[in-house]
Structures are given as C-alpha cells and as structure tokens.
Structure 1
C-alpha cells in the first residue's frame, strides 16, 4: 500500500539553535563553518536559510552570499536531508533563495556545482541555470577519525537571470 502525504514547508532564517539538528548536512567541521556564516548573516553579507516542516526542525539548508559577485546572489552550501531528496524540497529552497535575491534588488543568481554531481546539476538546469565556465575548487573536509584534509574538485559555474 502506498499513500501520498502532503507536508507543508516554510523557509526562515537559520539560527544557531538549528545546528544541533543538522548533523545530516555535514561534519562537525562543516557545521562550525555554518555557525560562522550565521554571524555574517547578522551583518547582512549573506542569508542562510532553513526549510522546515511544522516541527521547525530543518530538513534543508543553504546560503546566499552577496559578497562574491557584484549584482548577484551566489547560492552555496545547499543541502537537503538525504532521506528527503527528490521530493521537491531542493526546488522549494532554491525558489526561496531566488526570492531573497530579488528582494535585494538583484536580478542574477549564481552557483557552483561539482562536476561529479550530475543530479544536482540536472536540478539547476531544470530550474533555468546555465553553465558559463568551470573552475577548480577546494575546501577542508573532516575525515571519520576527526582529522582534516583538503578536498579538491572541479565545479561548473552556473547562473540564472531572475525576472
């Protein structure tokens, strides 16, 4: 037997108290980085969003950085709880992020997607993002033993003109 269940979602600013329930989004090192970005949000440099059902517990998160490129909001650190992927939550999150960008008077959204993540790229293309370049990228990751290592990858740079 299968049943369709409709869950109402809302988007709000992420707060420090959310980090305790976001272990699905990354390592302790990653969540410490998110905490630093929440401080940047206080200064208006970024928006950091949480998508939540009625419980108020985030099931998706992502940031918009307004300092990367003049005239654009740059989406980054987008993540949906693994058990809830392919349910439309990522589309909902990106729509909310684009609205935030437009509300700042900007008309362009940008993002970088790892070339080895075709599912994410397909989502962005379906939502109207177009690749315009590629570049290497790297960041610190936390190994299971707690040590840090440098993760290196290549990303497609994508943009979308917002109406």
Structure 2
C-alpha cells in the first residue's frame, strides 16, 4: 500500500482514535497549536485516501541542538510494516532541515519492541528517567501513569540513503 508523510492536521484527529484516549487526542490537538508557531512538527503517515496510519511529533524546545521525537504511534493492525521507520526517517529529515544534527527520544523500559526498532535505526541509550502523565482509563477516570524511560539519541550527519 503506498503511503505518504505530511503534517498532521486538526481535521485528522477523529481518525486517530487508535493512537490513544480522548484525553491523549486533546493533548495532540494542543500540540498542533504549537506546530502552528514552529515550536514542534507533528507528522502523519497517510494512506492513498489520506487517512493517518502513523503519527508522531518532534519537539524543538526540549534539547539544545536536537529534535526530540515523541508520541510516536502506528495503527496496531499495521505495525511491523515499516510505517514506524518511515515516520522516524521523515522526522529526522525535518530535524536536519532545521539545521540540527541530533534526534532524541524516550522509550518505556517495558516496550522492548519499540526500543529494538530505535536501536535498528541507530539510536543509542544514554540514560534513564522516571516519567508520569495523566491517562484516561476505560471507565473515563483520569489516573496518573508512572513509568521509567530509556533515553536514546542519534547523530544526524548525512541524509539517510534509501
């Protein structure tokens, strides 16, 4: 299936319920306002009918000289089809286009599948840190989710060869 990468738009959010709860999508909507002023980029991998099947952001305000990838998600039925790799490579190109030479991200310690992807793409662990965020449960109640993340980075020197 041919796909393309473009900016995520507010009109896309109703089609992104697979990416997280309503609370999460409200947070993504707030991040799109930051994208409008250039603080972040938020990307979507889309199908030929323009439906998002993978999304993720790049925050330029977190680490000096680097873009920080976050909120990366792929439609569960399409995982392991290369969409995550495509999304990350497009994000790295956006970082390069801003003249930055580093990409960083955090991955939960209990997500070895995602960490393996990042390592295959050249990311190297350099630390750990506790993280917490509010998450909506199946009953609609908001709970504080706590985890430990591995911090990873990759130097972006040259364009990625196909």
Into which bin does the TM-score normalised by the smaller protein fall? Answer: over 0.9
Of 144, 155, 160, the residue aligned with 1:150 is 144
Q: What is the deviation of 1:94?
A: 0.2
Give structure 1 stretches of 5+ with no counterpart: 1-6
SS at match of 1:59: strand
Q: How far apart are the structure 1 equivalents of 2:99 and 2:119?
A: 23
> 2:160 maps to which residue?
none
Which residue of 90, 93, 109 maps to 1:99?
93
- The match for 1:52 among 24, 46, 54 is 46
Distance (Å, rounded) in 2 between the aligned partners of 1:10 and 1:87: 14
Structure 2 stretches of 5 or more lacking a match?
158-162
Match of 1:8 in 2: 2
In the superposition, the TM-score normalised over structure 1's length comes to: 0.96
How many Å apart are 1:125 and its aligned residue?
Answer: 0.2
- Residue 39 of structure 1 aligns to a residue whose secondary structure is helix
Identify which of 9, 16, 20 aligns with 2:14: 20
CA distance in structure 2 between the aligned counterparts of 1:56 and 1:67, rounded to whole angstroms: 29
Q: How does 1:1-163 map to 2 (within 5 A)?
A: 7-163=1-157
1:53 shift after superposition: 1.2
Q: Which runs of at least 4 in structure 1 moved beyond 4 Å after TM superposition?
A: none
